[in-house]
Amino acid sequence: MTFFNDVEKVQYEGPRSTNPYAFKYYNPEEIVAGKTMAEHLRFSIAYWHTFVGDGSDPFGVGTMQRPWDQYSGMDLAKARVEAAFEFFEKLNVPYFCFHDVDVAPEGETLADTYKNLDEIVLMIKDYMKTSKTKLLWNTANMFTHPRWIHGAATSPNADVYAYAAAKVKKGLEIGKELGAENYVFWGGREGYETLLNTNMKLELDNLARFFHMAVDYAKEIGFDAQFLIEPKPKEPTKHQYDFDVATGIAFLKTYGLDEHFKFNIEANHATLAGHTFEHELHLARIHDMLGSVDANQGDTLLGWDTDEFPTDLYTTTLAMYEILKNGGLGKGGLNFDAKVRRGSFEANDLFHAHIAGMDSFAIGLKVANQLLEDRVLEDVIDNRYKSYQSGIGQKIANNDTNLKELEAYALSLGEIKHSSGQQERIKATLNQYLLRVNEY
Ligand code: XUL
Ligand code: CO
């Protein structure tokens, strides 16, 4: 059975195309800096938003009209798998991601849930035999069900901790079975609401123990995925422990987990933490911990996680700049953890949304690559820090001086001269590069 009957395979038709079901900029085979666009961008579809999300919000019920709406239970789960692989094929997207509960309904007991999962995982595995689409990552949903009310691996209740451990054990087995390239932890309920009832030290220690057990079990079963932490400061929990990349690095290093984990950085989570997307990517990159990306965008007028499809070219350009500087994403990819707006309820809007996101990142890739080739920002930055390339600056950079020598140097100084930071000139140049994208 097919579900998206209005749309044929989406192809690249170039910037002047008026076909809404064509890529204008994403040309998978086009070579940019020695690699195809497909290799650079490694797009992925988020199962939860695209095949499960119903458009409900805290004030209203679902609005989405989906060609699998007539099904329920395991039939619905199976219809979604069929629809998903049709969608992957039509959009020519190389990866997808899911939470356990996205693909199979939870049963009465954990054993029933496993049974449902096993059946659907088998079906997905079968589809993957003939599909070109692979699993970027899977994860365990440990935030929706009421059992996670006080957290999962940071719950005050050890039974919940054990239940969470079982879910992750199963998730690692599923990841191995389906050849996942990464395994993600997003701790939506791993945090606290008030310190008045919280033993933060025990919760953090328990969380670290949990991650160590996951690392050990993956090793034991020969699952060589990259582990990823996805930071977010808040929502649903008031204060989440994986607040942002800096907090995540401190946690991972404190508990000796840094060699096993990288970050899955989500644009809207970055802005919720009061950072730009590129700040989070940059910080992870300079620590060699940039693993993967949840590609979406927030709304500067709204203080919550709106998970919009990424269309802001300024941001996609700066994100691709960081990714290119990182030498790519390795096993990671650009996963559209993004949902169509509640008013975009037709099934075909799913195509429009993904095409918009893919074209936006393709533009970002081309512009960022040209910026790098022309050393636009490199030259600015090298020049700005050139005082560290010789004389006293070089001594500082080489760890070859001390406070006494620096004092003597400072006492000998005349008036200190500064250079302009010129950020307005740099931004104008960036605009020129963006507007010239069709020339690259
Ligand atoms: C929630 C979020 C999650 C993770 C996976 O904000 O981003 O969907 O990506 O659990
Ligand atoms: Co996410």
Write down the pLDDT at residue 127. 98
Q: Is residue 3 part of a domain?
A: no
Q: What is the pLDDT of residue 341?
A: 98
Domain boundary among 374, 396, 415: 374
Q: Looking at ligand 1, which atom is closest to the CA of residue 48? A: 8
Strands 261-266 and 290-294: parallel
Domain identity same for 308 and 336: yes
Q: What is the model's pLDDT at position 192?
A: 98
Distance CA 93, CA 338 (A): 15
Picking from 341, 374, 407, the residue at the C-terminal end of a domain is 374
Going by alpha carbons, the residue nearest to atom 3 of ligand 1 is 186
From 186, 234, 305, 335, mutation site for ligand 1 pocket: most ligand atoms within 8 A of C-beta: 186
**pLDDT score for 263:** 99
Are 131 and 155 members of one domain?
yes
**Residue numbering of the annotated binding site:** 230, 266, 269, 294, 305, 307, 337
| H-type alpha helices, 295-345 | 313-325
Identify whether the C-beta of residue 48 lies closer than 8 Å to the C-beta of residue 98: yes
Give 165-201 pLDDT, tens digit per residue.
Answer: 999 999 999 999 999 999 999 999 999 999 999 999 9
Instruction: Determine the distance separating the centroid of ligand 1 and the alpha carbon of 230, expressed in angstroms.
Output: 8
Confidence (pLDDT) at 118 = 98
- Tell me: do 83 and 229 sit in the same domain: yes
Whether residue 353 is found in the same domain as residue 385: no
* CA triple 163-168-170, angle to 5 deg: 95
The CATH number that applies at residue 220 is 3.20.20.150
With respect to residue 6, please indicate whether it lies within any of the assigned structural domains. Answer: no
395 and 323: one domain?
Answer: no
Domain assignment present for 293: yes
- Name residues of the chain where pLDDT drops below 70: none
Pair (149, 290) in one structural domain: yes
pLDDT value at residue 91: 98
pLDDT of residue 315: 98
Q: How far is the CA of 263 from the centre of ligand 1 (A)?
A: 13
Rounded to two decimals, the pTM is 0.98
pLDDT of residue 140: 98
Q: Atom 4, ligand 1: which residue's CA is nearest?
A: 186
Q: Are the beta carbons of 95 and 133 closer than 8 angstroms? A: yes
d(CA 270, CA 282): 12
Cα–Cα distance between 65 and 356 in angstroms, integer?
A: 20
Q: Are residues 230 and 312 in the same domain?
A: yes
Pair 42, 329: CB distance under 8 Å: yes
Integer angstrom CA distances of residue 209 from 206, 215, 257, 367: 5, 10, 10, 43
Length of the chain, in residues:
440
CA of 184 to the centre of ligand 1 (A): 9
In a shared domain, residues 358 and 422: no
Question: Which residues 6+ apart lie within 8 Å of 217 measured at CB?
Answer: 169, 172
User: Which of 291, 292, 267 minimizes the C-alpha distance to 280?
Assistant: 267
Q: What is the DSSP letter of 273?
A: T
From 142, 294, 339, give the residue whose CB has the most ligand 1 atoms within 8 Å, as the site to mutate: 294
- Name the residue range of residue 408's domain: 377-439
Q: Show which residues are catalytic.
A: 99, 102
Give the number of domains in the chain.
Answer: 2
Q: Are 307 and 339 members of one domain? A: yes
| 337 in the same domain as 256 | yes
Annotation: binding site for Mg(2+): 230, 266, 269, 294, 305, 307, 337
Residue 169 host element (H or E):
helix 158-178
Classified as helix, coil or strand, 222 is coil
418: left (phi over 0), alpha (psi -120 to 50) or beta: beta
Closest ligand 1 atom to the C-alpha of 99?
Answer: 10
Domain boundary among 359, 374, 389: 374
Give the residue, out of 52, 136, 139, with the most ligand 1 atoms within 8 A of its beta carbon, to mutate for a pocket test.
139
Within a domain: 97: yes
In a domain, 87, yes or no: yes
pLDDT at position 230, please? 99
Residues with CB under 6 A from ligand 1: 99, 139, 184, 186, 230, 232, 266, 294, 305, 337
The predicted pLDDT at position 19 comes to: 98
283 and 419 in a single domain? The answer is: no
| Cα–ligand 1 centroid distance for 188 (angstroms) | 8
Residue 252 forms part of a structural domain? yes
Query: Which protein residue has the closest C-alpha to ligand 1 atom 8?
Result: 337
Whether residue 238 is found in the same domain as residue 167: yes
131 inside domain: yes
What pLDDT, on the 0 to 100 scale, is given for residue 383?
97
* 1 inside domain: no
| Spatial contact of 239 and 303, defined as CB atoms under 8 Å apart | no
